[in-house]
């Protein structure tokens, strides 16, 4: 067991050597959502992220034009020049898939560079499954389980302090993006007692380190 954990950590440090090669990434996306009562929604557009700006920008073109800005502190929804809504939420950037990719931490969902503690590693049917424990006083205090296949993150399970499953992610259909790999399909399940919400994101036509449209990557000054 100790040998598996040491190998797991060694792979992380090897992959970290290739981190921080890129600052920007953009892609076209399709988002399919299903809420707790089965209502479905489809959104299409482009997503932009610059790790120095620390703002994820979703430029939605369908079913209507809308901008969504995700920051370290809140989620802003903008229609035209009008702020439609603001939802407070902390810590969204550090564990965002685009931030993790640009920093070379996607394989371990950023946990290796956080205060989370690696507790256990097992191998099962071609998967490497690791258990991570949260830092003290962490809200809800639950563990996370990560699964990897062929050195790519394939799944994540997040529990609360009562060992109840809260969120499940599936990362699949990896595609090459300038010498690395990015999951072109991400499925998120969020559980509420006997109900669940499902979000399936598909990404394509990636561009990295594009500097011709700076404003697309930035938080609007008028929202500060």
As given in the structure block, the two tokens for residue 3 are 């040998």
Predicted structure pTM score: 0.86
What is the domain-level CATH number for residue 205? Answer: 2.50.20.10
Question: Domain of 212?
Answer: 2-223
Predicted local confidence at residue 155, as pLDDT: 97
| All residues at 6 or more sequence positions from 89 whose CB lies less than 8 Å from its CB, including other chains | 73, 74, 75
Distances (CA, A) of 11 to 4, 58, 122, 148, 220: 11, 33, 15, 12, 39
The contacts of residue 151 (CB under 8 Å, 6+ apart) are: 11, 15, 107
What is the C-alpha to C-alpha distance for residues 74 and 68, in angstroms, rounded to an integer?
A: 10
**Quick one: pLDDT at residue 141?**
78
End-to-end CA distance of the chain: 50
- Which pLDDT score, from 0 to 100, does residue 17 have? 39
Count the domains in the chain: 1
Q: pLDDT tens per residue, the chain (224 residues)?
A: 444 444 444 444 444 434 456 899 999 999 999 999 989 999 999 999 999 999 999 999 999 999 999 999 999 999 988 999 999 988 899 999 999 999 999 999 999 888 999 999 999 988 999 999 999 888 777 999 999 999 999 999 999 999 999 999 999 999 999 788 999 999 999 999 889 999 999 999 999 998 877 889 999 888 87
């Amino acid at each position: 067991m100790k040998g598996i954990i040491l190998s797991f950590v060694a792979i992380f440090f090897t992959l970290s050597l290739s981190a921080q090669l890129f600052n920007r990434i953009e892609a076209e996306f399709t988002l399919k959502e299903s809420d707790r009562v089965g209502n479905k929604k489809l959104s299409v557009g482009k997503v932009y992220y610059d790790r120095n700006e620390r703002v994820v920008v979703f430029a939605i073109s369908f079913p209507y034009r809308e901008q969504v800005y995700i920051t370290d502190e809140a989620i802003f929804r903008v229609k035209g020049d009008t702020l439609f809504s603001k939802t407070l939420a902390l810590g969204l950037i550090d564990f965002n898939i685009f931030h993790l990719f640009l920093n070379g931490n996607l394989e371990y969902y950023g946990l290796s560079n956080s205060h989370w503690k690696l507790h256990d590693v097992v191998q099962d049917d071609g998967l490497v499954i690791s258990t991570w424990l949260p830092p003290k006083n962490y809200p809800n205090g639950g563990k996370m389980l990560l699964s990897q296949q062929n050195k790519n993150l394939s799944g994540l399970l997040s529990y609360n302090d009562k060992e109840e499953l809260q969120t499940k992610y599936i990362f699949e259909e990896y595609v090459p993006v300038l010498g690395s790999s990015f999951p072109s399909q991400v499925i998120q399940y969020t559980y509420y007692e006997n109900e669940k919400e499902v979000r399936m994101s598909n990404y394509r036509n990636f561009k990295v380190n594009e500097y011709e449209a700076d404003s697309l990557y930035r938080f609007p000054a008028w929202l500060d």
